[in-house]
Structure 1
Amino acid sequence: MIKFNHFNFNVLDLEKSLKFYKEALDLTPVREKKAEDGSFQLVYLGDGKSDFTLELTYLTDRKEPYNLGECEFHLAFHVDEYEETYKKHKEMGIICFENPGMGIYFISDPDGYWIELVPAR
């Protein structure tokens, strides 16, 4: 059997990213790993409902933003309270693209990664 485990985003400012993911999506750390030499830290975020996690990789010596190319990839979430969540994200100023025809929108995290919000149906 093969099943999904986690997805990774490399982040420039771990604390800023942790705050964003907690505030915007209510994701919280479920486990961490720190390199013995202090060169990196991994923080796995969970939604409390599934086993899938988002791994945030923080390289301590990294100073320049990551090049995400054309950002032709994204992570997606089903949202039960879609209208309330949309309103919160609008107030936070993090919506980067809306597709009303499909009934979805995207938010952008502090590093520029896109996250799709899909209403639960």
Structure 2
Amino acid sequence: MDFKFAHNNINVLNLQKSLEFYQRALGLTEVRRKVAQDESFILVYLGDGATPHQLELTWLRDRKEPYNLGENEFHLAFYVDDFDAAHKLHQEMGCICYENPGMGIYFISDPDGYWLEIVPIK
């Protein structure tokens, strides 16, 4: 058997706001979309255009309350080729939630509070 990563999933309250965030903050674009026949949910798969890995955003029509992320001890990580430019963009967006200069990384938070690690390519 040979397993390979396919995608990660997160649930979002406001699909349009999340799509705009992931496009602006990380350059992710929609690869495909699935809408339930009864329109009770929408799945949108985002890609970076360079790797096969995708981020699946799940929107549930009847969900109104924010998701409980617990202690938010999980995250996705993204390499970036221009760390300083990325940091400036995320600072302007106001989405940096934690910085660790000693490790040379920082985290941003999406509209639903998920943390995303930004790592420079070394």
Both structures adopt the same fold (TM-score exceeding 0.5)? yes
Per-residue CA deviations over 1:20-79 (Å, capped at 9, x if unaligned) read 000100100001100001100000000000000000000011100000000000000010
Q: TM-score, normalised by structure 1?
A: 0.99
Q: Distance in 2 between matches of 1:119 and 1:34?
A: 36
1:49 is matched with 50
2:60 is matched with 59
Percentage of matched positions with identical amino acids: 67
Q: Secondary structure at the match of 2:84?
A: helix
2:91 is matched with 90
Q: TM-score, normalised by structure 2?
A: 0.98
Q: Secondary structure at the match of 2:52?
A: coil
Q: Which runs of 5+ in 1 are unaligned?
A: none
2:20 is matched with 19
C-alpha deviation, 1:90, in angstroms? 0.5
Q: Distance in 1 between matches of 2:92 and 2:37?
A: 40
- The one-letter amino acid of 1:119's match is P
Runs of 4+ in 1 over 6 A off after TM superposition: none
Aligned residues between the structures = 121
Q: Which runs of 5+ in 2 are unaligned?
A: none
Per-residue CA deviations over 1:82-110 (Å, capped at 9, x if unaligned) read 11000110111000000000000000000
